[in-house]
Amino acid sequence: MKKKTGAEGFFDDGLTYLVKNKEGDLWGVRPKHIHFEVWTDTVDMMETCDFRFYSVEKVEVESTGRILVDEESKTAEVTKSPAGPTIEYKKKQFSDVAFFRLGYFDYLKLNTQNMLMKYEASKWFSIDLILDYDDQRASIYVNQQPLKSASFFTQREDKLDSGNALSIYGLSPGGTSKFRNIKMCESICPEQALLATEFTDLSGAMLSYGSSFSLLVGSCTLFMSLLA
């Protein structure tokens, strides 16, 4: 994906996958393992791409296709990213579980940890996120090597126990990024379980291998809706 010049927000020039049940309704899932690979031809010292696991909610729209907003919102100057990936869905406030970014000064970012490690442009990186919903923490492995445990991006009194949307998108005009092999699994994804690395929650608890569901392959009770 490539960020176009003039794109106004984080959701522009990106893809969003929605988790839905067989009736077509949004469905919250709680994967313990999220795997993906990322490559970027980064713009010097700029943020280039983002990977986000969070929740959206459906919004009422007028027949004209416009989101119903109050008069103040209609006339307000746009100073932040779009409310969601399309006019039909908006991001649920304070719902961010995992927020991964290739960011400023060529550093990798996870949630509130801004400078985890340096990354190189035009090189593939394998990323594994292990999610602990009890402790509200995400552990990150880079190229199968343990790196850091960080709190969920959103920290609040009520714990985050699921998500229903996954977005990948560009951030800076001129930057080109690629994602591949995206998976969300109920436990350790089988393909990664075959590696020598034993993926664990770096904050302490061990995760067992088990059943999984793929982001890109549906089943009789789960299918993914892709929004461009």
Domain residue limits, the chain: 14-219
Tell the burial category of 121 from Cβ atoms under 10 Å away from its Cβ (0-12, 13-18, 19+).
middle
Tokens at residue 123, please?
A: 């090189």
Any idea how long the chain is? 228
Which CATH number applies to 14-219: 2.60.120.200, 1.10.3720.10, 3.30.390.10, 3.40.50.360?
2.60.120.200
pLDDT in tens, the chain (228 residues): 566 665 555 666 688 999 999 999 999 999 999 999 999 886 666 777 889 999 999 987 654 444 444 444 444 444 455 678 888 899 998 899 999 988 778 889 998 788 889 888 889 999 999 999 999 999 999 999 999 999 887 766 678 999 999 999 877 777 788 899 999 999 999 888 778 678 888 885 444 334 444 444 333 233 344 444
The pTM of the full predicted model, rounded to 2 decimals, is 0.79
* Element housing 102 (H / E): strand 98-102
The CA-atom distances, in angstroms, between 210 and each of 11, 37, 163, 193 are: 33, 22, 20, 9
